[in-house]
Amino acid sequence: MFNKRIKIKELLTADKVNFDATVMGWVRTFRNNQFIALNDGSTNNNLQIVTGLGVFDEKILKRLTTGACIKVTGEIIASLGKGQKVELKAATIEILGDSDAEKFPLQPKKHSLEFLREIAHLRFRTNTFSAIFRVRHSLAFAVHKFFNDKGFVYLHTPIITASDAEGAGEMFRVTTLPLDGSALKNEDGSINYKDDFFGRSTNLTVSGQLEGELAAMAFSDIYTFGPTFRAENSNTTRHLAEFWMIEPEVAFNDLEDNMNLAEEFIRYIIKYAMEQNKEDLEFLAQRLTEEENQKPLVERSEMSLLDKLNFVVNNDFERLTYTEAIEILRESNHNKKKKFNYLIDGWGVDLQSEHERYLVEKHFKKPVILTNYPKDIKSFYMRLNDDGKTVAAMDILAPGIGEIVGGSQREERLDKLTQRMSEMHIPEEELNWYLDTRRFGACPHAGFGLGFERLVQFVTGMGNIRDVIPFPRYPKSAEF
pLDDT in tens, 169-188: 589 999 999 989 889 999 89
Residues 6+ apart with CB under 8 A from 233: 475
Q: Flag whether pLDDT at 403 surpasses 80.
A: yes
Domain with CATH 3.30.930.10 in the chain: 125-171+206-467
Phi and psi angles of residue 174, each rounded to the nearest 5 degrees, phi first: -115, 120
Is residue 166 pLDDT above 60, yes or no? Answer: no
In the chain, CATH 2.40.50.140 covers 8-107
- Between these two residues, 301 and 243, which has the higher pLDDT value? 243
167 band by pLDDT with thresholds 50, 70 and 90: low
Q: Which residues contact 63 (CB under 8 A, 6 or more apart)?
A: 95, 98
The closest of 168, 228, 163, 165 to 202, measured between CA atoms, is 163
Number of residues that make up the chain:
480
75-84, 163-172, 219-228: least confidently modelled range: 163-172
CA distances for 89 relative to 14, 86, 334, angstroms: 17, 10, 62
Q: What is the pLDDT of the chain when averaged over all its residues?
A: 93
What's the pLDDT tens digit per position in 91-124? 999 999 999 988 999 988 889 999 999 899 999 9
CATH superfamily of 125-171+206-467: Bira Bifunctional Protein; Domain 2 (3.30.930.10)
Q: Helix crossing, 305-314 with 255-276: angle to 10°?
A: 140
CA 124 to chain centre: 16
In DSSP terms, 37 is beta-bridged to: 29, 48
Amino acid at 446: A
Residues 61-85 have pLDDT tens digits of 999 999 999 999 999 999 987 778 9
Distant-in-sequence contacts of 127-130, Cβ < 8 A, 24+ apart = 127/44, 127/283, 128/283, 128/284, 128/287, 129/467, 130/39, 130/41, 130/44, 130/280
Write down the pTM of the prediction: 0.93
Share of the chain above pLDDT 70, in %: 99
| Mean pLDDT computed over 159-164 | 86
* Structure confidence at residue 283 (pLDDT): 97
The three state secondary structure string of the chain is: CCCCCCCHHHHHHCCCCCEEEEEEEEEEEEECCCEEEEECCCCCCCEEEECCCCCCCHHHHHCCCCCCEEEEEEEEEECCCCCCCEEEEEEEEEEEECCCCCCCCCCCCCCCHHHHHHCCCCHHHCHHHHHHHHHHHHHHHHHHHHHHHCCCEECCCCCEECCCCCCCCCCCEECCCCCCCCCCECCCCCECHHHCCCCCCEEECCCCHHHHHHHHHHHCEEEEEEEEECCCCCCCCCCCCEEEEEEEEEECCCHHHHHHHHHHHHHHHHHHHHHHCHHHHHHHHHHHHHHHCCCCHHHCCCCCHHHHHHHHHHCCCEEEEHHHHHHHHHCCHHHHCCCCCCCCCCCCCCCCHHHHHHHHHHHHCCCEEEEEEEHHHCCCCECECCCCCEEEEEEEEECCCEEEEEEEEECCCHHHHHHHHHHCCCCHHHHHHHHHHHHCCCCCEEEEEEEHHHHHHHHHCCCCHHHCCCCCCECCECCC
Please answer whether residues 396 and 380 qualify as being in contact, where contact means their C-beta atoms are separated by less than 8 angstroms.
Answer: no
Mean pLDDT to the nearest integer, 7-25: 95
Is 165 a residue whose pLDDT tops 70?
no
What is 8-107's CATH topology?
A: OB fold (Dihydrolipoamide Acetyltransferase, E2P) (2.40.50)
CA atoms within 13 A on the CB side of 480: 12
Cα distance from N-terminal residue to C-terminal residue, the chain: 33
Q: Phi first, then psi: give them for residue 251, nearest 5 degrees.
A: -70, 145
| Radius of gyration over every alpha carbon of the chain, rounded to an integer in angstroms | 27
Per-residue model confidence as pLDDT tens digits over 342-396: 999 989 999 998 999 899 988 998 899 999 999 999 999 999 999 999 999 999 9
